Amino acid sequence: MVMEATSDYWKPVFYLLEAHGLDPWLVNARDVKHLPGRPKTDVLDAVWLCKVAERQMLRPSFVPPRPIRQLRDLTRYRSTLVAARTAENNRIEKLLEDACIKLSVVASDIFGVSGREMMDALIDGQNDPKVLAQMARARMRTKIACLEEALDGHFDHHHAFLLTRMLGRIDTLDADITAVDEQIEAHLAPFAAAARLDEIPDRHHGGRRTDRGAPGPFAAAAARLDEIPGIGPVVAATIIAEVGVDMSRFPTAGHLCSWAKFSPGINSSAGKTKGNGSSGHGNRYLAAALGEAAVMTRRTDTFLGARYRRLAKRGKKRAIVAVGRSILVVVWHLLSDEQVTFHDLGSDHYTRHIHPDTKKHSHIRQLEALGYTVTLAPAA
C-alpha cells in the first residue's frame, strides 16, 4: 500500500492499514508530485502512485513503531510545555520592566528561590526596596545595594493581579512538565516492575540514582546515549523518540545524518557546484535536541567541546550544525551495535594529529600577515 503524506490526515488510514497486517508506505508529497499540464483527480493520483511504486521510483518515509510514536508524543508535548513556560517567563520580565523593576539586571535568574520570594512579597503588597533586597540568598547577598536600586519601582495592584496569574500559570506548567517527565521515564523503562534494584551512576546530577527493575530496551539505549557529552536524560529521550532504536532503517551514519538534514545538500552540474550547500529543513525536534547538546559541549574538556570551540571562530551556527552531526554519528554507532561503547578522543585530538609542517606553515603565514619576515632555525 502506497499513500501520500497529507499533514496529519494520513495517520488514521495508515494506522488502520498497519493494524490489518499490511505494509503501508508513506511517501513524501514532493516525490510523487504529478507532472504539470495533465489532468488531476483522486483516481489519476492513485494511478500515478501505483506507476511510480511499480517502477521503484519511491522510497518510504520513516514512520516509527507504535511504542516510539507514543514516546514521541510525550517528548514533543514536553517541548511545547517548555516553550509555553519560557513565553510566560518573558511576559513576567516584561511586566516587571513596566513597573520599573529591573530585577533581571541584577539576578541572572529571576525565577530562582530569591526571585520568587521577592515577587511573592510584591504581590502581598511589600514595596520597600530595602525589605525586598534582604530576601536575597546565597551569592545574591553580595548585591544588596544593587538590588535595592533595581527594586525601587511603582508596582501597583494592576501589576500584582497580572503577576499572580502569570506565576500561577508557570507553576501549573511546571507540574505538567513533571507529570510528562514521569510518563517519559515510564516509557523508557517498560519493564520497571521487575523485582530488582539497579544503582546507576548519574553524571549530570553529581550522584547516583536508583531505578527499580531491570531496564527495558529504551532505558538501556537512553543510558548509552547519556554517556555522550552534552546529552542528558531529556535529550536522550528526545533523540530516541525521533529516530527510534532500530538503526537498520539507516544503512550508515551518513544516511541518518542526511535524513535529519545535518548534511549539506549537493547541487552539481558540469563540474560546477551550485548553491550554498545548505542542509535544508529536517526534523525540528531532533534538530533542537542536537543543537542543545552541541551548545552544552562548548565548555567541556572533550573532543566535541574542542571541535565546537574550533569551529565557533567561523560562526556559532556552523559549529552547532557540525557538532550536532558528530553527535548524530555517535548515536548511530551506539544504537547500531550494543557492544559498542562511547570513547572520547580527548580535547587534544586535533593537536596530536596535526602534522608539524602544517602547523609550522600556519604560524609562518600568521606572522607574515602581521608584517614580519620569518626565518626558521632548528633548536640546538
Q: What type of residue sits at position 324?
A: G
Identify the band that residue 178 occupies on the pLDDT scale cut at 50, 70 and 90. very high
Write down the domain spans for the chain.
2-61, 67-188, 197-265+280-380
Q: Which has more pLDDT, 356 or 186?
A: 186
What cell was used for 31? 516525490
What cell was used for 39? 489532468
Helix (H) or strand (E) holding 73: helix 66-98
Identify the band that residue 275 occupies on the pLDDT scale cut at 50, 70 and 90. low
Is the pLDDT at 291 greater than 90? The verdict is yes
Inter-axis angle of helices 303-312 and 316-336, nearest 10: 150
The pLDDT value given to residue 140 = 86
Q: Could you tell me whether strands 25-27 and 2-4 are parallel, antiparallel, or unpaired per DSSP bridges?
A: parallel
Instruction: For 110-155, write each residue's pLDDT tens digit.
Output: 998 999 999 999 999 988 989 999 998 888 888 899 999 999 989 9
The pLDDT value given to residue 379 = 81
The pLDDT value given to residue 220 = 82
Average pLDDT over residues 216-224: 77
Contact 296, 321 (CB under 8 A): no
> Worst-scoring range by mean pLDDT, 171-185, 206-220, 282-296?
206-220
Identify the band that residue 219 occupies on the pLDDT scale cut at 50, 70 and 90. confident
CATH architecture under which domain 67-188 falls: Orthogonal Bundle (1.10)
Is the pLDDT at 105 greater than 50? The verdict is yes
What's the CA gap between 339 and 123, in Å, rounded? 57
Contact 313, 324 (CB under 8 A): no
The pLDDT value given to residue 201 = 40
What's the CA gap between 139 and 49, in Å, rounded? 65
Is the pLDDT at 325 greater than 90? The verdict is yes
